[in-house]
Amino acid sequence: AQTVTQSQPEMSVQEAETVTLSCTYDTSENNYYLFWYKQPPSRQMILVIRQEAYKQQNATENRFSVNFQKAAKSFSLKISDSQLGDTAMYFCAFMSHDTGTASKLTFGTGTRLQVTL
Amino acid sequence: GAVVSQHPSRVICKSGTSVKIECRSLDFQATTMFWYRQFPKKSLMLMATSNEGSKATYEQGVEKDKFLINHASLTLSTLTVTSAHPEDSSFYICSARDLAPNLNEQFFGPGTRLTVL
């Protein structure tokens, strides 16, 4: 079974600064997907960024980028130019490429990010 | 992006009654939907995978007779909490997997807050 670990329960960053959220995972599979989801106070889950394991290039989405280290099974999220609206709970998630698992997501425990003035 | 709705957004019921929560994919068809449970300040725990036209697949430790899932169409899955008790109070979130083109992405509903008195 896969496990996802987020070792930072809470983090704080000042507006306009850069912050990095950590995520490690454990799997014996070679093909899989990794995700970062954001859950603001509204509790709506929002996909921030996605990475396919077979791609060496790190995914980027505007101010959000990842550092994917497959050998180390590490998948950190970097938020640049932090904004107050980035305040939320951030979950790292793993999905097997094996369709037999019906695209189940395994979530980490989350990191609560507070962006301050 | 694809939209998933949930109804009701919040419900309060008396202990011993049953509550039905609906999850709808509004602009796409979903052969597979997922039901999660989230406790305050905790991560999402997968309860079951709902498959259109067949029985749901429950995760270990989830009582299938207590949490009834029906996926009668490609756009609707329902979760019924039978004989609810205060310990069933939680935030329930559904997600749906689009048939195409991104088979590896789940779209989340806004969640339902259940309070059992």
Of the candidates A107, A90, A104, A103, the one whose C-alpha atom is nearest the C-alpha of residue A48 is A90
Q: How confident is the model at residue B99 (pLDDT cuts 50, 70, 90)?
A: low
**By the 8 A CB rule, do A35 and A95 touch?**
yes
CA distance B45 to B58: 12
Q: Does A100 touch chain B (CB under 8 A)?
A: no
CA distance B62 to B66: 8
pLDDT in tens, B10-59: 999 999 999 999 999 998 888 889 999 999 889 999 999 988 888 899 99
Q: How confident is the model at residue B72 (pLDDT cuts 50, 70, 90)?
A: confident
Q: How confident is the model at residue B105 (pLDDT cuts 50, 70, 90)?
A: confident
Q: Do B95 and A104 touch (CB under 8 A)?
A: no
pLDDT in tens, A53-107: 999 899 999 999 999 999 999 999 999 999 999 999 999 999 987 665 567 899 9
Tell me which residue in B1, B104, B111 faces A95 most closely, judged by beta carbons. Answer: B104
Q: Do A103 and B106 touch (CB under 8 A)?
A: yes
Mean pLDDT of chain A: 93
How many angstroms away from the CA of B44 is the closest CA of chain A?
7
Which tokens in the block code for residue A71? 């050998």
How many angstroms away from the CA of B8 is the closest CA of chain A?
14
* Interchain CB contacts (distance < 8 Å): A and B: 51
> Which residues lie closer than 8 Å to B12 by C-beta, 6 or more apart?
B115, B116, B117
Cβ neighbours of A44 in B, within 8 Å: 108, 110-111
Half-sphere exposure of B12 (CA within 13 A, CB side): 1
